[in-house]
C-alpha cells in the first residue's frame, strides 16, 4: 500500500475556493510507494457568502475552520499548524484596470498578513497569486518589495514568480495572473514553472459551455432577464465584438466619454477562449453569449473558470458572480500544485523558465486578449 504524504493547507483571502479546489485536487506519486497530496485545514475571508461557499465545497459543509472575519483580527498563533499557505491577496490596488494605488491603497498592504502567517508557522511551501498589474505597480517597486518580503519571511524561502497565461493551461479564458511559489530554503528544493499544456490548442468558450451541455436545473444557472434595449443592441453585435462595433445603430450606442473598454457588451467568440471574466461592474460587463442575446449565467461563467457543475456558490446571483470572477481557475491551480508536489516527490516534469513581462515593453499583459 502506498504511503500518503499529506500537506495541511491554510488559506487567507480564500474567496469561494478556486485556488484550494485546484490544490486539493492535485497529487503526485514517486517510485518509492509514496503519494503526495494536499488536505484543507483552515481558511479565512471577510465575505460571508464566500466563506459559506468555501465551507460547503472545500470543507464538506463544515464551517468550524472557515473563519469569516477581517484578516487584521486573525491571531495566527491560534491558527492550527499548517504545511502550505495559499493566499490570493486582494488585487484591487494593483489591477491594470482603473487607478493603480499599490501600497497606498486599501488593499495593497494586505499581503503582509500572509507574511505574518508564514513567520508564525514556517510552512514547507506557499503559493501566492495576484493580477499581472502587480509587476508594474509603483513603477515595479511594489512587486520588488513583495518578493523580497516573501523570500525573507520565516526561515527564508526560495521564491519562483511567473506570469501564467491560464489559457495555456487548459482554462477556456484569457486570464493572466502572477503566481509566486515559495519553498522553504532549508528543504533544498527548487520549484520550476510547469510548461504550458494547451499553448497551441486552446479550449474554446463554446466547448467549455456546451460540452457537456449544462443541465437546465443546474445550480447558479439562472438566466438574467435582459432589458429590451440590451436585446436590440446585442442583435447588432457579432461574436467577438463589443458595443462600439460599427454595425450598431446610432440610437443603440453608448454615450460614454473615454470608455471604450473592450468587454462592454462584448460577445464571446465561440471558437476562442473567453476574455477575462470579472467579478464586478455595471451594465455591459457581465459577459455575453456568442449567439443568444443575453448575458452569461453564473454557471456558464463558472465553466469558463473551470469550476465543476456540482460546485455550488452561496448567496445572491450578484454575490455568486463576484465570487466566480474573483476566483483562481481550479484547473490552472491544480497544474501548478501538481508541479510543487512533484518537486517534493523528486519526480521530473516538463518546465519553462520563469517569466514576468510579456515583452510588450511596459511590463503589463493585456487583460482581454480574445
Catalytically active residues are 91
> Helix/strand/coil (H, E, C) string of the chain?
CCEEEEEEEEEECCCCCHHHHHHHHCEEECCCCEEEEEEEEEEEECCHHHHHHHHHHCCCCCCCCEEECCHHHCCHHHCCCCCEEEECCCCHHHCCCCCCCHHHCCCHHHHHHHHHHHHHHCCCEEEEEEEHHHHHHHHHHHHHHHHHHHHCCCCCEEEEEEEEEHHHHCCCECCEEEEEEEEEHHHCCCCCEECCCCCCCCCCHHHHHHCCCCCCCCCCCCCCCCCHHHHHHHHCCCCCCCCCCCCCCHHHCCCCCCCCCCCCCCECCCCCCECCCCCCCCCCCCCECCCCCCECCHHHHHHHCCCCCCCCCCCCHHHHHHHHHHCCCHHHHHHHHHHHHHHHHCCCCCEECCCCCCCCCCCCCCCCCC
Amino acid at each position: 500500500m502506498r504511503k500518503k504524504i499529506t500537506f495541511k493547507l491554510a488559506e487567507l483571502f480564500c474567496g469561494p475556493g478556486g485556488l484550494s479546489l485546484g490544490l486539493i485536487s492535485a497529487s503526485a506519486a514517486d517510485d518509492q510507494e509514496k503519494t503526495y497530496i494536499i488536505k484543507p485545514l483552515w481558511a479565512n475571508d471577510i465575505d460571508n457568502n464566500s466563506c459559506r461557499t468555501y465551507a460547503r465545497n472545500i470543507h464538506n459543509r463544515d464551517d468550524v475552520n472557515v473563519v469569516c472575519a477581517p484578516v487584521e483580527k486573525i491571531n495566527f498563533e491560534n491558527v492550527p499548524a499548517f504545511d502550505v499557505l495559499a493566499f490570493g491577496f486582494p488585487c484591487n490596488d494593483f489591477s491594470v484596470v482603473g487607478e493603480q494605488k499599490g501600497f497606498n491603497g486599501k488593499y495593497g498592504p494586505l499581503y503582509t498578513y500572509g507574511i505574518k502567517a508564514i513567520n508564525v508557522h514556517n510552512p514547507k511551501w506557499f503559493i501566492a497569486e495576484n493580477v499581472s498589474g502587480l509587476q508594474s505597480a509603483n513603477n515595479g517597486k511594489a512587486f520588488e518589495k513583495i518578493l523580497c518580503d516573501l523570500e525573507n519571511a520565516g526561515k527564508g524561502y526560495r521564491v519562483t514568480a511567473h506570469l501564467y497565461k491560464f489559457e495555456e493551461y487548459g482554462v477556456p479564458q484569457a486570464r493572466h495572473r502572477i503566481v509566486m511559489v515559495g519553498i522553504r530554503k532549508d528543504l533544498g528544493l527548487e520549484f520550476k514553472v510547469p510548461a504550458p499544456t494547451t499553448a497551441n490548442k486552446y479550449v474554446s468558450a463554446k466547448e467549455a459551455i456546451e460540452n457537456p451541455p449544462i443541465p437546465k436545473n443546474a445550480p447558479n444557472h439562472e438566466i438574467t432577464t435582459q432589458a429590451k434595449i440590451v436585446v436590440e443592441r446585442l442583435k447588432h453585435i457579432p461574436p467577438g465584438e463589443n458595443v462600439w462595433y460599427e454595425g450598431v445603430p446610432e440610437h443603440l450606442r453608448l454615450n460614454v466619454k473615454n470608455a471604450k473598454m473592450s468587454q462592454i457588451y462584448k460577445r464571446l467568440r465561440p471558437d476562442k477562449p473567453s476574455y477575462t471574466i470579472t467579478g464586478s461592474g455595471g451594465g455591459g460587463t457581465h459577459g455575453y453569449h456568442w449567439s443568444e442575446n443575453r448575458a452569461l449565467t453564473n454557471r456558464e461563467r463558472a465553466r469558463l473558470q473551470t469550476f465543476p457543475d456540482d460546485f455550488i456558490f452561496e448567496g445572491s446571483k450578484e454575490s455568486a458572480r463576484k465570487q466566480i470572477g474573483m476566483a483562481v481557475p481550479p484547473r490552472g491551480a491544480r497544474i501548478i500544485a501538481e508541479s510543487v508536489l512533484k518537486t517534493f516527490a523528486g519526480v521530473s516534469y516538463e518546465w519553462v523558465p520563469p517569466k514576468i513581462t510579456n515583452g510588450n515593453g511596459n511590463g503589463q499583459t493585456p487583460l482581454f486578449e480574445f
